[in-house]
Amino acid sequence: MKVLILGAGAVGLSLAARLSGVCDVRAVCRKRHADAIAERGFRLTGLWGEGTFRFPASEDVPAGEHFDYIFITAKSLATRSLCEQFAGVIRGTETISLQNGLGNEEIISEYTDRVIGSTIITGFEWKGDASVHVSVVGGPMKLGRFPDGLDAPVEDLAALITAAGIPVEASAHVRGDIWAKTLYNSALNPLGALMNVPYGSLLHPSVWGVISGVVHEAFEVMAAEGVCLPWSNATEYLAHLHDVQVPDTAGHHASMLQDIRRGNPTEIDFMNGAIAERAKKRGIPAPYNDCITRLVHFRESLSET
């Protein structure tokens, strides 16, 4: 089995490391990571196990190579440019978005008719150019034909990932899984980033009212789009978020806060921004998601000056 990982950073290089034991894997990443991996191997620590892994990593794909599966693991803002750069390799190939946010699968589907959606609720932190620490695991990876359904290529990929020692579930409703992960990220990441606090601090009643507004609006959009989730309404999901998900990841600093601290653009347009945009198209008011999107863009602009 041949696997390509495009836009390999903290998530993609960790995935490449685990897969390197069970298949032929290549990572496309930035030169400084490729050079460091070639020199001393890739070091993985934490909840995905400890070890040093060797696999090919470069800025490009050797001409004429074909792959059984291609993962896209860059930030959502880079999905389209990666698809453009590697359009020839992606065309007709099973391509998986292993990213946060709404809209990545729709972009990829403009380049291949074989799109697999997935979610990952695991924390990856850079420790060096060729070193990542896995800090939290909030559940198994989910994998399914996008927008819905299960088939042999999805099942085979789930078996490969399981063999690599990564907990994964094949899902017949991956669109719902992607929305569920987006709900969690949209509720917590922008406020964690704007307030400079870990997830656990967001249980404070004054900020919880804002989170409640974000989630209620998202449920209205999901109802209009016919998305099914394990929770029948916003109140049920908010109870799960409050009592299970936030306590399980209370000490975590959102990836959006890490982006802001580094002066990088955030994925807000694929989270609350996407919810506000979809709401607008359907005539659903979404002032909480719209306001939060604007505030995060304002915060990003402060890092630019």
Ligand X SMILES: NC(=O)C1=CN([C@@H]2O[C@H](COP(=O)(O)OP(=O)(O)OC[C@H]3O[C@@H](n4cnc5c(N)ncnc54)[C@H](O)[C@@H]3O)[C@@H](O)[C@H]2O)C=CC1
Ligand Y SMILES: CC(C)(CO)C(=O)C(=O)O
Task: Output 34 or 215, the one with its CB closest to ligand Y.
Answer: 215
Q: Is 99 in the site for ligand X (CB under 6 A)?
A: yes
Task: Report the nearest approach of ligand X to the CB of residue 291 (Å).
Answer: 22
Q: How many residues bind ligand Y (CB under 6 A)?
A: 12
* SS3 state at 111: coil
Residues 108-127, one symbol each (x = binds ligand Y by CB under 6 A, - = not), give ------------xxxx----
Pairing of strands 168-170, 141-145: parallel
Q: Is 124 in the site for ligand X (CB under 6 A)?
A: yes
Query: Which partner from the list ligand X, ligand Y, none does 78 bind, CB cut-off 5 to 8 Å by kind?
Result: ligand X
Task: Output 59 or 236, the one with its CB closest to ligand X.
Answer: 59
Residues within window 242-281 making contact with ligand X, judged by CB under 6 A: 255, 267
Q: Is 189 in the site for ligand Y (CB under 6 A)?
A: yes
- Which of 196, 202, 241, 245 lies closest to 218, judged by CA? 241
Q: Strand order of the sheet with strand 115-119?
A: 57-58, 24-28, 2-6, 69-72, 94-97, 115-119, 141-145, 168-170
Residues within window 19-78 making contact with ligand Y, judged by CB under 6 A: none
State the first-to-last Cα distance of the chain, in angstroms, to the nearest integer: 47
Region binding ligand Y by CB under 6 A among candidate stretches 66-74, 218-226, 246-254, 286-294: 246-254
- 75, 114, 142, 252: residue in contact with ligand Y (rule CB under 6 A): 252
Q: Is 171 in the site for ligand Y (CB under 6 A)?
A: no
Q: What is the dihedral angle through the alpha carbons of 134, 139, 141, 146, rounded to the nearest 10 degrees?
A: -140
